[in-house]
Structure 1
Amino acid sequence: MPETPSITSSEIGALWMTYQQKTMVLRMLEYFIEKADDQKAKEIMKELYEEIDPYTEKIVHIFKIEGVPVPVGFTSNDVNVEVPKLYDNGFDIMMIRMIKEISMAMHTLHITVSYRDDIVMMMKELTMITQKYYHRCTTYLLEKGLMPRSPYVSIDKEVEFVKDQNYLSGLNPFSEKRPLTTVELANIYHAIESNVVGMKMILGFAQCAEKKEVSKFFNKGGELAKSIVKEMGDVMLQNNIHVPNTAGGNITDSKLAPFSDKIMMYCVSLFCGFSMGGNSVGTAFSLRNDLPAKLSIFMKDIFEYAHEGAKIMIKNGWMEEPPQTLKHK
Structure 2
Amino acid sequence: MNNKSKIGASEFGALWVTYHKKTMILRFLEHFIHTSDNKKAKQLLTGLHGKLNSKVEEMKELIQKEGTVVPAAFSSEDINLDAPALFSEGFDIMFSRILKEISLGMYTLHIILSYRKDLIKLYKELSDLSQIYFAHFTEFLLEEGILQKPITVNLPKATSFVTDKSYLKGSHLFGEKRQLTVVEFGFLYHGIETNVIGMKLMDGFSQCAKDEEVKKYFLKGKELSKEMISETEKILLQNDIQPNIPTGGTTTNSSVAPFSDKLMMYCAYLLSNFSIGGEGFGTGFSMRRDLNLKFGIFGKDTYEYMREGVSIMISNGWLEEPPKMDV
TM-score bin (small chain): over 0.9
Deviates most, 165-174 or 207-216: 165-174
Aligned residues between the structures? 327
Residue 99 in structure 1 maps to residue 99 in structure 2: yes
Q: What residue in structure 2 maps to residue 190 of structure 1?
A: 190
- Is the counterpart of residue 217 in structure 1 residue 217 in structure 2? yes
Distance in 1 between residues matched to 2:6 and 2:103, nearest whole Å: 26
Kept after mapping to 1: 8 A contact 2:172/2:178: no
Note the alpha carbon deviations across 1:18-50, whole angstroms, 9 max, x for none: 100000010111110000000000000000001
Aligned pairs for 1:253-292 within 5 A: 253-292=253-292
Query: Cα offset for 1:85?
Result: 1.1
User: CA 1:147–1:191 in structure 2 vs 1: closer, same or farther (change >3 Å)?
Assistant: same
What's the CA shift string for 1:121-179, capped at 9, x where partnerless?
00000000001001100000000001111122224332110010111113799711110
| Aligned counterparts of 1:248 and 1:321: Cα–Cα separation in 2 | 34
Cα distance in 2 between the residues matched to 1:74 and 1:62: 18
- The residue that corresponds to 2:207 in the other structure is 207
Contact 2:63 2:70 in 1 (8 A): yes
1:158 — aligned with what? 158
Distance in 2 between residues matched to 1:111 and 1:93, nearest whole Å:
26
Q: Name 1:299's counterpart in structure 2.
A: 299
1:30 counterpart = 2:24: no
Deviation at 1:2, TM superposition (A): 7.1
Question: What amino acid is aligned across from residue 266 of structure 1 in structure 2?
Answer: Y
The aligned residue for residue 89 of structure 1 is: 89
SS at match of 1:154: coil
Judge which range, 173-182 or 21-30, deviates more.
173-182
Distance 1:180 1:56 in 2: 43
**Distance in 2 of aligned mates of 1:60 and 1:253:** 37
What is the distance in 2 between the residues matched to 1:173 and 1:259? 55
Give the C-alpha shift of residue 309 in structure 1. 0.1
Opposite residue 163 of structure 1, the aligned amino acid is: T
Please list every run of 5 or more consecutive structure 2 residues that lacks an aligned counterpart in the other structure.
Answer: none
Identity of aligned residues (%): 47
Q: RMSD of the TM alignment (CA)?
A: 1.5
What is the TM-score normalised by the length of structure 1? 0.97
Q: Which residue of 2 aligns with 1:50?
A: 50
Residue number in structure 1 paired with 2:131? 131
Give 2:215's aligned amino acid: S
- Relative to structure 1, is the Cα distance of residues 3 and 86 closer, same or farther in structure 2, using a 3 angstrom cutoff? closer
TM-score calculated relative to the size of structure 2: 0.97
Change over 3 Å in CA distance of 1:298–1:248 after alignment to 2:
closer
Further displaced range: 239-248 or 15-24: 239-248
